[in-house]
A and B are shown apart, each in its own frame.
Chain A
Amino acid sequence: MSAETTNWIRVTREENIPAREGRSVQIRDREIAIFNLGDRFAAIDAACPHRGGPLCDGIVTGNRAPSLDCGPVVGHAVVCPLHGWKVDLQTGDVLKPDVSVRVDTYDVRVSDDGVVEVAVPVAAQRSKKAA
């Protein structure tokens, strides 16, 4: 996401999102789930593409390459608490079941004063405003 189209939003102090858990935040029309992965944070749309389950409430798991079940862990994913869909926290791709659906992802950073910041597209905010 390029700097022109996104906007960094100061969300919350990092300790408000416990290690290996997720929390959701409403930013305009978007409900975003932010996960604390220990050494970094990740953010994706909070609504599961299956039936809208709360991804922020899912269990954070490892994500293995090349397929799901073998090979070394290459990243993180979250498992939806409702029916177990598994979503990649880096790319937003649904890893399980085998469907080509993805959710939006957002850049996250922690500011010097310990606040989690998420980059939210400006366009999205405009479109909401227009609607």
Chain B
Amino acid sequence: MEQLVIIGNGMAGVACLENILSHKHRFDITIFGDETHANYNRIMLSSVLAGEREADEITINGMDWYQKNGIGLRLGTRVIDVNTTLRTLTGEDGSVTRYDKLIFATGSSAFIPPMDGIYRRNVFTFRSMDDTNGMLRIAGPGKRAVIIGGGLLGLEAARGLQVRGCDVTVIHLVDTLMNNQLDSTAGDYVKEKMEAIGIKVLGGRRTKGLLGRDEVEAVELSDGERIPADLVVIAAGIRANSDLASRAGIQCNRGIIVNDYMETSDPRVFAVGECTEHRGETFGLVAPLFDQGKVLAATITGNRGPTFEGWAPAAKLKVMGVEVFSAGEFLETPGADVVRYEDPGSGVYKKLLVRNNRLAGCILVGDTTDSNRYMDWLRTGADLEVRRRNLLFPEPVTDKGSSIAEIPDNETVCGCMGVTKGRIIQVIHEKGICTMAQLKECTRASTGCGSCAGTCEGLLKAVAPDFVEEGKKVLCKCVPFSQDNLREIIFTQKLKSVQDVLEIYGDGIGCEICKPALSYLVDVVWCGDHEEDRSARFINDRVHANIQNDGTFSVIPRMRGGVTTPDELRKIADAADKYKVRTVKVTGSQRIDLLGVKKSDLPGIWADLGMPSGQGYAKGVRMVKTCVGTEFCRFGVQDAMTTGIELEKRLENLYTPHKTKLGVTGCPRNCAEVTVKDIGLVGQEGSWQVVVGGAAGKHVRKADLLITVETTDEAIEAALLFFQYYRENGNYLERTYDFVERFGIEKIRKETVYAQPKEKRILLRRLQKAKALSKDAWLDRENPTPTQFVQIQTIQSIMDTQVEATIQ
């Protein structure tokens, strides 16, 4: 095996490695990364800063990926020396590693212009997860943030910090913002837009230094003005990390020099990513770097052939409401025609530079929908002669839906990941892809900034023979309709039982998938006023207990809010003794489980307990977990226990698409862990936050904020609105964490807490109706259906048959 070592665990290096793995190779692979995080999507740091995503959502390849592929990962280890004669590299920890082939993928670092006092605390660059986390620790309402540099990164940092409540000022050396990508008119438009969202911009000002004791206190400009600052971000450009290579004797200029095969001056050493310089150009965006990765993977695995030809520089600003795109040349030069469109009222500015009927560059502000089209014209050198009349606007579309059909195959759909329409279509056909999730997994399209999701979905719809919009799949072969359809059918055809649906719209018998699902649907459509058919239910719902591996059952009585009494505990203890319960266990949901109860003992133990069913077996309301809150806790600001118990009373005995777990906590310390519950109430000074769609089971998802309200009544109402909306729209077996993602929190907000009062009343009324018809399932003990809990006893004594049999 040859030893392949990669320095740099960033986007380009790992993307290249993914390509290497897809070739046949004989490498033993080790990767060094001086950051302590698994490979993540650096592009999305802006979204993490702005709170649009959580840090853990932007992982590209988690630890399991390295393990699965047998890659040695040396996280948190910086390589400090490379010896190309001995073919070794030395880590900061003193370790020495040999290589047969070496790839530099060291990326770039923030450029720090010469100025005084940069080593004060709370001064950041914006490059890594650590930088982002550092800023987030300090950012908050009332904090003053100063950004030095009005380029792409500076503006994205400014927006992120401003969303976090900071008072933000951007200082830029020249008058034009993003002057490496924009002309002065475009720069002015951007400035206006940034100011409109509340960010101060100081153009044409030079920073002299940073003032303060340990922590930064102000930024001093060369004209003497001082701008107070609690936090400073230096975003004055990037520099390729080529020092290490340069010291090892590898030819470098502004970056590590590579040829079209991504080879450096040393035959055993290669480079990829922002650390490279190719044909005199360095890079700052991922698309060309992914291209480089594909080429390098071919070169290094013995398939030398494909070449990297360079890309026109391009940039896109990811600030919501400030759309900016620029590619290629942007300053007017002799010999270039300027095609321009401007609408100051709506803040749209577009400029194309055309030379010899070929696009040389473009700037788009305020409307960037056509950026991919221009990017492709640039890359392919398309002849624009016949298009001259329609350069600024897409050619008129003749029929609906054809705009996707009109995209040429070689046009890039996903700019971040460099995925073309042709590639997507090819993969859809080859791999039989039919959902967005599969498409993302196979092509990486739409996993960068995500702005191409609409186009990708359109393509899927148009091309995939069995395209399934998430959640629109048919229930099963027995009743081939989607659940949305079935709800409609059940309602309009007035079908009240599972068997009715199966007989009219299905195969008359059904299966283990559709029967429980239909049981739920008839219940929710008729708000509980349906004909219950036990045979369509899973055994747990026939006997209201959870079946165990030995055929016995567990019994979890309801213990609202996790609050109990000595009397209840005594009854539980007595019942456990009487029925010889194998184990008594406190569950993860703040209640008590009696495990190993015989089916025939269930009615008896329920009667002895005298407590309602905790629905621990059902796709229904499990518990409302609470903390002690104001009643005891010195930090409590809301009464979590009372509120939790009230919420549980309002919802218990109802069924939901999948189990529903709730929580109420008395302050943001969140001792009841409600931000990972299906519905959570977070108490705050003078208000409640209602959060939904959290999870901490198979995977972890932080709940989305539904609304913040002042009173406890309003908080409970918001929870009920969401609860009923989920009941009515969720697919059977869809937890809220999937439901909220499928619907989108915006839509859910609009149709629940921000809905018209009349719509809210209707939702709540249906919930009340269902609640009124619901009952404690354990009351079945009073008149069970024949033989519901007992084994059948033969009429004829077996002894008789014995005799009979012997005689025969």
- Seen from chain A, the residues whose Cβ lies within 8 Å of a Cβ on chain B are 4, 7, 9-13, 15-21, 23-28, 34, 51-54, 57-62, 64, 69-70, 72-73, 76, 79, 81-82, 84, 115, 120, 122, 125-126, 129
Give the docked Cα–Cα distance between A109 and B516 (Å): 29
**By the criterion CB–CB under 8 Å, are A129 and B795 in contact?**
no
* A28 nearest CB neighbor, chain B only: B798
Given contacts A16-B787, A62-B478, A62-B509, contact A81 B795 (CB under 8 A): no
B501-521 interface code vs A (CB 8 A; 1 in, 0 out) = 000000111111001100000
CA distance A24 to B792 in the complex (A): 6
The verdict on A18 contacting B786 (CB below 8 Å), with A62-B507, A122-B805 known, is yes
Return chain B residues, CB-CB under 8 Å to A16: 786-787, 792
Contacts of B547 in A (CB 8 A): 54, 57, 81-82
Interface centre among A9, A53, A72 (most CB of B within 10 A): A9
Give, as a whole number of angstroms, the nearest-CB distance from A128 to chain B.
10
Q: A105 vs B739: C-alpha distance in the bound complex, in angstroms?
A: 43
Enumerate chain A residues within 8 angstroms of B208, measured Cβ to Cβ: none
B512 and A79 form a contact (CB under 8 A): yes
> Whole-angstrom distance between the alpha carbons of A73 and B514 in the complex?
15
Which bracket fits the contact residues of B?
35 or more
| B534 interfacial contact with A, CB 8 Å | yes
Residue from B535, B542, B796 within 8 A of A19 (CB atoms):
B535
Given known pairs A62-B511, A125-B805, the reply for A115 and B795 (CB within 8 Å) is yes
B604 to chain A, nearest CB (A): 19
Contact of A18 with B801 in the complex, beta carbons under 8 Å: no
Instruction: Specify which of B512, B538, B549 is in contact with A61 (CB 8 Å cutoff).
Output: B512
Interchain CA distance A109-B3 in the complex, whole Å: 73
* Chain A contacts for B509, CB-based, 8 A: 60-62, 73, 76
CB distance from B756 to the nearest CB of A (A): 42
Cross-interface CB contact of A18 among B477, B535, B551, cutoff 8 Å: B535
B785 within 8 Å of A (CB atoms): yes
Instruction: Specify which chain A residues have a CB less than 8 angstroms from the CB of B787 in the assembled complex.
Output: 12, 16-18, 23
User: How far does the alpha carbon of A20 sit from the alpha carbon of B515 in the complex, in Å?
Assistant: 11
Contact yes or no, A23 B794, CB < 8 A: no
Q: State in angstroms the CA–CA spacing of A51 and B549 once bound together.
A: 9
Give the distance in Å from the alpha carbon of A11 to the alpha carbon of B796 in the complex. Answer: 7
Show 25 A/B contacts (Cβ-Cβ < 8 Å), sorted by A.
A7-B804, A9-B796, A10-B796, A12-B787, A21-B534, A21-B542, A24-B792, A27-B794, A34-B792, A51-B549, A54-B547, A57-B547, A58-B512, A60-B509, A61-B510, A62-B507, A62-B510, A69-B477, A73-B509, A79-B511, A79-B512, A81-B538, A81-B540, A82-B547, A129-B802
Q: Are B511 and A61 in contact (CB under 8 A)?
A: yes
Across the interface, name the chain A residue whose C-beta is closest to B502.
A62
The 7 lowest CB-CB distance pairs between A and B, nearest first, are A20-B535, A62-B509, A61-B511, A57-B539, A10-B796, A79-B512, A25-B792
- Once bound together, how far apart are the Cα atoms of A59 and B719, in whole Å? 34
Q: Which residue of B lies closest to A10 (CB)?
A: B796
Which residues on the B side are within 8 Å of A7 (C-beta)?
Answer: 801, 804-805, 808
Determine how close the nearest CB of chain B comes to the CB of A113; give it in whole angstroms: 10
Cβ of B536 within 8 Å of any chain A Cβ, yes or no, is yes
B539 partner residues in chain A, CB cutoff 8 A? 54, 57-58, 81
Q: Given the known inter-chain contacts A16-B787, A27-B794, please indicate yes or no for A126 contacting B536, CB distance below 8 A.
A: no
B791 within 8 A of A: yes
Contacts of A21 in B (CB 8 A): 534-535, 542
